[in-house]
Amino acid sequence: MSSKAKAILKKYPLCSRCLERQVRLKAKYPTDTKECFICGNFFEHINDVVKTVATALNEYEFQTFSIGLSAPNEWIEKEDMIRSEFKLRGVRNIKSEASHALTLELSRVLNKRLDRFDPDVVAIVDVVSRDVKVLAKSVYLFGRYTKSKRGLPQKQPRCKVCRGRGCPECGYTGKEKQMSVEQLLSQRLLNIFKGSKVTFSWCGSEDEQSLVLGEGRPFYVEVHNPKKRNLPSLNLPFKLGFGVKLKQLTLLAAKPEKMPSFRSEVFARVLFQSKPDKKKLKEASALLERSEIYQASLSKRKTYVKKIYLFKIRVVGCKGFIRFICDGGLSIKRFLTGAGEPITPNLPSLLGVNIDLDEHKPFDILDVMLEGF
Ligand SMILES: [Zn+2]
Ligand SMILES: [Zn+2]
């Protein structure tokens, strides 16, 4: 043993790993029974820590992992004190050595690979309390659903008490307890992936009274903190209840970069306040066949241009049946009734009559076509 090592040990009891780190050589000396001044014998008990972490990770499916160590500040403070007192320049500090040793041993025990940058799971280990918190990387999926019964909202309504912030009334979910397409899909996905919550990005939206037909409405979903990462084979279409079917569900390799553009094919039922003029009907149909609609958003101080690609209208008395194809994001209700924020042209202004949507069957989504997908 070097004289420096001897001098250190004379003053501070250190375990062999904590001594080796200071003097940069293998320090052969009988293991001291005293508690290491720096690490409090962390390395001696490392197998217990490994066991605790492995148990916490037991219920998670993963290929790669990393460790986050929450170590007491005094570890570093004590080591720095010794280093300055004996004028030492250690290569590695106690925290990084502890986490290196833990990772190495875990990798061996679990037979999984360390990935520092994009691991499937991160185990945050508190050295003092031995608490282990696991954070799993989200899984992303693409799916489509159809809806064959009216009366179910697409999105989960926000809690009326807290307006989405979370309160005792809603069990801190920020949402109403009512059933919805979102709720049905969430339940299923949480059941499969055992995650903590799900976040949807929908390709468009429909009315509570709308049907969604054809190949169904596409959506992206993020499952947060999932315990499972693999999608079992589902017999598709999969019935979710309330007339909702899952038509497609695909696991994505990564978070989608942006939402794709899409077009919707819509069938709407409208009520004219008075029978529209035949000539005006003809002109409006011809104009709308391939037209641009300017849709203002006052809150965003922006006007969006949405195209209509096909427009067919059949009038029976004061009722109108309209089939059209439009860009995703066109507000169907505003376009057909002229209600709400400015939208031009809109159907009532072209026909010169007031228009309401059929209350019970306003419009159905016949299909949603994704572009470049
Ligand atoms: Zn030590
Ligand atoms: Zn609430």
173 Cα to the center of ligand 1, angstroms: 45
Give yes or no: residues 356 and 332 share one domain.
yes
Give yes or no: residues 286 and 203 share one domain.
no
267 Cα to the center of ligand 1, angstroms: 73
pLDDT at 4: 84
pLDDT at 316: 94
Give yes or no: residues 125 and 189 share one domain.
no
Give yes or no: residues 272 and 228 share one domain.
no
Give yes or no: residues 12 and 106 share one domain.
yes
Residue 84 has pLDDT above 70, yes or no: yes
pLDDT at 302: 94
The answer to the question of residue 257 being in a domain is no
40 Cα to the center of ligand 1, angstroms: 6
For residue 31, what is the domain's CATH number? 3.30.2300.10
Nearest to 249 by CA among 366, 139, 372: 139
For 186-235, what is each residue's pLDDT tens digit? 999 999 999 999 999 999 999 999 999 999 999 999 999 999 999 998 89
For residue 346, what is the domain's CATH number? 3.30.70.3190
Last residue of a domain, one of 202, 221, 252: 252
19 Cα to the center of ligand 1, angstroms: 7
Environment of ion ligand 1 (residues, CB < 5 A): 15, 18, 36, 38-39
Give yes or no: residues 68 and 121 share one domain.
yes
176 Cα to the center of ligand 2, angstroms: 7
Contacts of 14 (CB under 8 A, 6+ apart): 8, 22, 32, 36, 37, 38
Last residue of a domain, one of 193, 227, 252: 252
Could you say which ligand is closest to the alpha carbon of residue 13?
A: 1
Give yes or no: residues 103 and 184 share one domain.
no
Give yes or no: residues 110 and 169 share one domain.
no
The answer to the question of residue 99 being in a domain is yes
Could you say which ligand is closest to the alpha carbon of residue 174?
A: 2
The answer to the question of residue 188 being in a domain is yes
The answer to the question of residue 295 being in a domain is yes
Report whether 246 contacts 240 (CB < 8 A).
yes
Separation of alpha carbons 303 and 307, rounded Å: 13
Q: Which domain holds residue 325?
A: 262-370
Per DSSP, 46 falls in state: H
Give yes or no: residues 50 and 100 share one domain.
yes
108, exposed or middle or buried, with CB in 10 Å at 0-12, 13-18, 19+? exposed
Separation of alpha carbons 345 and 269, rounded Å: 19
133 Cα to the center of ligand 1, angstroms: 24
Separation of alpha carbons 218 and 205, rounded Å: 10
pTM equals: 0.87
199 Cα to the center of ligand 2, angstroms: 18
Conformation bin of residue 116: beta by default, left when phi > 0, alpha when psi is -120 to 50:
alpha
For 268-324, what is each residue's pLDDT tens digit? 999 999 999 999 999 999 999 989 999 999 888 999 999 999 999 999 999 999 999
157 Cα to the center of ligand 2, angstroms: 11
Share of the chain above pLDDT 70, in %: 97
Give yes or no: residues 116 and 154 share one domain.
no
Give yes or no: residues 120 and 53 share one domain.
yes
CA-to-CA separations, 174 to 150, 159, 178, in angstroms, rounded: 25, 5, 12
Separation of alpha carbons 307 and 289, rounded Å: 10
Q: How many domains does the chain have?
A: 3
Residue 82 has pLDDT above 60, yes or no: yes
Q: Please, what is the angle between helix 16-23 and helix 94-110, to 10°? A: 120
Separation of alpha carbons 87 and 23, rounded Å: 10
24 Cα to the center of ligand 2, angstroms: 58
Give yes or no: residues 67 and 146 share one domain.
no
Enter the tokens of residue 5.
Answer: 């090592």
Nearest to 121 by CA among 71, 60, 69, 70: 60
Report whether 68 contacts 122 (CB < 8 A).
yes
Q: Over the chain, what is the mean pLDDT?
A: 92
Q: For residue 202, list its beta bridge partners.
A: 219
Last residue of a domain, one of 252, 275, 293: 252
Enter the tokens of residue 185.
Answer: 């899909």
